[in-house]
Amino acid sequence: MSDADERERRAWTYLAGVAEPPSAAVIALVDAIGPVDAADAIASRSVPRGHSAVLGATEPRYATDTVDADLATCDRLGVRLLTPADDDWPAWPLSALDRATTAARGGRPLALWVRGPAPLGALGDAAVALVGSRAATSYGEYVAGRFASGLAAQGRAVVSGGAYGIDGAAHRGSLAAGGLTVAVLACGIDRAYPSGHARLLEEIGVRGLVISEYPPGTTAAKHRFLTRNRLVAALSGATIVVEAGRRSGATNTAAWATRLGRPLGAVPGSITSATSVGTHAMIADGQATLVADVDAVASLVAPDGEDPRGPAPMRSTDGLPRDQFRVIEAIPAHDGVSIDEIAFSAGLRSDAVRRALAGLDVAGLVDEDRGLWRLRR
């Protein structure tokens, strides 16, 4: 590694721990002047004009140098720090977090600590998030495991949070079928949380991916779980809630999926089960599509006309979620159309059209001008 590469590596490591993620102020500074100069500016407290917010964001940690310790942890555990400068950085999935409507609640991560052999950037829209209650029923765990193994058989990655209940069942189902599963942590990459899943997380780190935006040594906390949930939704082409109460972390992840314009599915359960109250509400409100088998799950991330059990031929709209595909097909080649016109042509509700357009806008496929939507040239 050249001196310049080593200096940049150390700068990214410092920046990844200098503020509580996600820090829009730090990201803006790095985007403006690069990681090395940004790290120097923060450490010396001499930031460029227009970036004074970074001083407040980094005040509690800027003088604490954990770079050597963090790099030693990476080397010991086989962890790599993935940054936007790396080819494996999942730029397109995370770009949705930069929209003004989502950035205020949590923008893209500055960097990601990653353990495991799989390329994170290759997940694409084929990945599916399976989330749900920690206090899951046996029915919920069975469904999560069955869906995960079925998705694995179709070559689709399963993303979840590594928790007890639905998360654990989803990870195990994918691993049992020889699939790729991704655990997104709300603590440092060196922490096994929950401790009862230490062996499971170790196996995921060997065969799949364990990722975190928090530096080594960071403990789990409630606000970090809520922050983590946006990454689960962003890294997935669709999110499926298997079981959830009225208010739970899973419903928070579902809200992020909707906010990001990603398809959302929910599994029906017993009308007497408290762990299905949330999923029933999502279905009744039209927020989520009812899914009852793995092909229904796969269809949420497969454009109409594509067999959800296998890859489609390459085309310009390859990889688009189902609703986005229907929306872009409903927009004429040369004319602008309103949301109501798109909804009528695509056979979708207006709120589903709005979510799909938000995702297509981020992907650079459509433009809006005075209420009319056009294909981007």
DSSP string of 219-237, one letter each residue: PP-HHHHHHHHHHHHHTSS
pLDDT at 314 over 50: no
134-149 pLDDT, tens digit per residue, is 999 999 999 999 999 9
Beta bridge pairs of residue 112? 82
Sign, CA torsion 40/44/50/54: positive
Q: Tell me the two tokens of residue 133.
A: 């209650």
pLDDT at 275 over 80: yes
Give the mean model confidence (pLDDT) for residues 69-94.
92
Beta bridge pairs of residue 243? 132
CA distances (Å), origin 89, targets 34, 96, 256: 16, 14, 21
The distance in angstroms from the start CA to the end CA of the chain is 41
pLDDT at 351 over 50: yes
C-alpha angle with apex 132: 230 to 298, nearest 5 degrees?
80
pLDDT of residue 144: 98
Task: HSE, CB side, 13 Å, CA atoms: give it for residue 83.
Answer: 17
pLDDT at 194 over 90: yes
pLDDT of residue 312: 35
Lowest mean pLDDT among 99-103, 129-133, 155-159, 231-235: 99-103
Q: Tell me the two tokens of residue 103.
A: 């950035």
Q: 227 falls in which pLDDT band (50, 70, 90)?
A: very high
pLDDT at 348 over 70: yes
pTM, two decimal places:
0.79
Give the mean model confidence (pLDDT) for residues 285-313.
74
Distance CA 303, CA 318 (A): 8
Whether residue 242 contacts residue 132, with contact meaning beta carbons closer than 8 Å, is answered with yes
Give the mean model confidence (pLDDT) for residues 265-288.
96
Whether residue 189 contacts residue 77, with contact meaning beta carbons closer than 8 Å, is answered with yes
Give the mean model confidence (pLDDT) for residues 47-57.
94
By the 10 Å C-beta count (0-12 exposed, 13-18 middle, 19+ buried), 190 is classed as buried
Task: Using a pLDDT cut of 90, give the percent of the chain over it.
Answer: 66
Assign 285 to helix, strand or coil. coil
280 vs 24, which has greater pLDDT? 280
165-186 pLDDT, tens digit per residue, is 999 999 999 999 999 999 999 9
Lowest mean pLDDT among 80-89, 163-172, 185-194, 351-360: 351-360
pLDDT of residue 303: 54
pLDDT at 350 over 90: no
Average pLDDT, the chain: 89
Give the mean model confidence (pLDDT) for residues 36-45.
96
Closest CA to 264 of 247, 252, 276, 275: 252
Largest CA distance in the chain: 63
For 46, list phi and psi in degrees, rounded to 5.
-125, 70
pLDDT at 29 over 50: yes
By the 10 Å C-beta count (0-12 exposed, 13-18 middle, 19+ buried), 295 is classed as middle
249 vs 158, which has greater pLDDT? 158
Give the mean model confidence (pLDDT) for residues 217-230.
94
Distance CA 169, CA 282 (A): 22
230-272 pLDDT, tens digit per residue, is 999 999 999 999 999 988 889 999 999 999 989 999 999 999 9
